[in-house]
Amino acid sequence: MTVSRLPHAALTLKQFLQRQKILGIYRNMLRTIRQVPAEADRKYLRDWARDEFKRNKNATNPDVIRMMVTQANNHLEELQKSLALAKS
C-alpha cells in the first residue's frame, strides 16, 4: 500500500491557482492603497481590505469565491480610477 506524502489539507491545482490569484489581488489592493495621499484614508482602506479578506478566507463555495474575486477586482479598479482622477 502506498502512502501519500501530501498533507491531508493539500490544495488541488485549481485551488492553488485560485489562491495565488486572490493573494495577487490583495497585494495589488495594498499597493494601490499606499498611493492614497491622506494617512487616515490609507489606514481606513488598509483595515477594510484586511478585514474583508480575513472575513472571507474560509469560503469554499466556488460560485461565492468567484463572486468575491469579481467584487474585489471591481473595488480595486474603482480605487485606481479614483486615484488617477485625483492626480489629474
CA angle 23, 66, 6 (to 5 degrees): 60
pLDDT for 42 equals: 96
For residue range 20-65, list pLDDT tens digits in order: 999 999 999 999 999 999 999 999 999 999 999 999 999 989 999 9
